[in-house]
Amino acid sequence: MSALYFYLFIFIHPYLSFWWQTFPKAGRKSWEAFITIYNYYVAFKIGGGKAWWAFLMLVPGVHVYMWAVCNLGFLRRFGFYSAVDTVLGILFPYPLFFKAHNKTLREPTNWANSRE
């Protein structure tokens, strides 16, 4: 029964996250938010991560970590950088996703040079 909840969550997360409203701000089409697994592929691309990480969302256990990575990368592109935003992005990101559809997209985080 827990596997059912796992896959059900993968299906409903994009709808709760307002991805259909934030994808167009990133230059993507809003219909891409409604196709399962492909929407995570696009979200990882928008967030600055590797797009193939979306397939790791299918692995139970690993999906929790990858879900947090996806959320944080995606939210940072919309300007949510504070420690509170990071914790909220990991534990309960939906209020931030709701705020993100009113913000503009920023450049991806450059992890290679942390001093800038």
The distance from CA 89 to its chain's CA centroid, rounded to whole angstroms, is 9
pLDDT at 6 over 80: no
**Which pTM was predicted?**
0.80
Residue 52, Cβ density class (10 Å: 0-12 exposed, 13-18 middle, ≥19 buried): exposed
Q: How big is the CA angle at 68 (ends 30 and 60), to the nearest 5 degrees? A: 95
111, two tokens: 């992890």
Other CB atoms within 10 A of residue 73 CB: 20
Q: What is the pLDDT of residues 16-50, one digit of tens each?
A: 778 888 888 888 998 998 888 898 899 899 888 88
